[in-house]
Amino acid sequence: MNPPDLITILISGGIGLVAIGAVGMAVSRHLLRLVLALAIAEAGANLLLVLAGYRWDAVAPILTGATVTRPMVDPVPQALVLTAIVIGVGVQALAVALLIRVKEAYGTLDIRELKTRVEQEICGAAGIAPPESANKPGGGQPYPVPVTTSRESA
C-alpha cells in the first residue's frame, strides 16, 4: 500500500481544525467553549502558515556546521507563527478575565440567557418595558392604527 501524501494529510488537518473551530464558535452556547473553539481555529491557522513555508526536501533552519550543506525550509513563516502563538495565549487570558467579569455581573455564561439579561438591563435603564416578541412594539406604545382606505370602509 502506497504511503499517503504528507502535504495532503497536513493540509486536511489544518483545514479540519479551522472548520471545527468555526463550527464550535457558531454552535456553542457556553462562552468558555467559544474561547476553546477560537483556540482550535487559531491552531489550525498556525499549522497552515507553517505548511506554507515547508519544503519536502529541506531541513530545519538551524546551522549545524559552518557551511550550508542541505536546503533549509523558509524561516519567515516560522518566526511569524512563533509570534502568533504567544499573542494567542495573551488574547486567551484576556478573554478568560472578561468571562470572569461577565459571570460576576450577570451570573451566567449562557449566550441566550445573557442576551435576555442584557436586554432587560438596557430596557430597565431606559425605562421601557422589555420587548416580549419581535412582532409587538416595545415601550408599551400602542399598535399603529391600521390604515383603511375610504373605499374599503364605504
Taking the C-alpha atoms of residue 84 and residue 46, their distance in angstroms, rounded to an integer, is 8
CB closer to another protein out of 15 and 128: 15
We find the least distance from the C-beta atom of residue 154 to another protein, in angstroms, to be 46
Cβ contacts of residue 69 below 8 Å, gap of 6+? none
We find the least distance from the C-beta atom of residue 152 to another protein, in angstroms, to be 39
CB closer to another protein out of 60 and 128: 60
- Give the type of residue at 131: P
Question: Residue 81 CB: number of other CB atoms within 10 A?
Answer: 19
CB closer to another protein out of 43 and 129: 43
Q: Which of 69, 50, 47 is nearest to 58 (CA)?
A: 69
We find the least distance from the C-beta atom of residue 119 to another protein, in angstroms, to be 19
